[in-house]
């Protein structure tokens, strides 16, 4: 287990399924507007506020929520200082993985949807750039509801998976269109594991996207998924009772 000030590994039941060749560290911030400023810009349109995994597992603990809010406030108060803190954590995690003999993987948006590829610069030694440029040895990946990100040319070590929702017809249309036009994978959250399992290996259509459904709960390593699939997940935490349309079925 790696414990940094911003990122940690080994404390997420799903990511540890992929431990072996890789180990994943995740940064959990306070989602939506919990810290005063919205760090999930499409949350209302996608209807994922109520079903957010922010309170799943250890997230239901008050001290964990306070820590996430404090981290987010540090990000909002001084991006330069926050990015320096993140670089220090990433350096520590890389050393930890080297000692352990595994490859480092990092999710920066555990409970946020920040566009890290845009205007988030940092320094590492004499080098300056995005964290993706500064840490080519790290595989970064995230889920996102900001569908315009699908059209960008991402760093080779940053993998994005779009997140589907039927809460808003315009959002559903835009996100499935982005997936169809770019080939990026599309994650769909099903009401139950049984429903998700029913659709696995079947061709399913959502809006403009028609693809085979892939079991996305076997591991969290989204960058290892086949390309051009629907990543089928089943609802967890508050999402089990979500009725916004974010959860399907």
pLDDT digit string, tens, across residues 110-145: 999 999 999 999 999 999 999 999 999 999 999 999
Which two structure tokens, joined as six digits, stand for 159?
């993998």
CB distance 214 to 16 below 8 Å: no
pLDDT digit string, tens, across residues 221-242: 999 999 999 999 999 877 788 8
Burial category of 247 from C-beta neighbours within 10 Å (exposed 0-12, middle 13-18, buried 19 and up):
buried
Instruction: Record the pTM.
Output: 0.92
CA distance 22 to 159: 15
pLDDT digit string, tens, across residues 30-53: 988 878 899 999 888 877 766 566
């Amino acid at each position: 287990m790696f414990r940094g000030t911003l990122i940690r590994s080994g404390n997420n039941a799903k990511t540890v399924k992929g431990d072996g060749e890789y180990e994943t560290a995740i940064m959990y911030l306070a989602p939506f507007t919990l810290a005063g400023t919205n760090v999930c810009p499409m949350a209302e349109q996608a209807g994922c506020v109520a079903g957010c995994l922010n309170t799943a597992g250890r997230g239901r603990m008050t001290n964990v929520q306070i820590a996430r809010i404090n981290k987010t406030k540090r990000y909002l108060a001084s991006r330069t200082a926050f990015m320096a803190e993140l670089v220090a954590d990433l350096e520590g995690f890389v050393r930890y993985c080297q000692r352990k003999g595994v490859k480092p993987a990092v999710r920066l948006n555990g409970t946020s949807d920040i566009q890290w590829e845009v205007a988030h610069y940092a320094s590492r030694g004499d080098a300056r750039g995005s964290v993706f440029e500064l840490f080519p040895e790290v595989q970064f990946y995230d889920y996102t509801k900001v569908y315009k990100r699908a059209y960008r040319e991402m760093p080779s070590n940053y993998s994005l998976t779009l997140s589907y929702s039927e809460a808003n017809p315009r959002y559903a249309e835009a996100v499935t269109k982005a997936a169809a036009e770019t080939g990026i994978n599309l994650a769909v959250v099903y009401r139950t594991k049984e429903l998700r399992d029913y659709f696995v290996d079947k061709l399913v259509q959502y809006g403009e996207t028609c693809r085979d459904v892939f079991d996305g709960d076997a591991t969290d390593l989204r960058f290892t998924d086949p390309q051009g699939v629907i990543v089928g997940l089943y609802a967890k935490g508050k999402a089990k009772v979500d009725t916004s349309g974010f959860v399907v079925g």
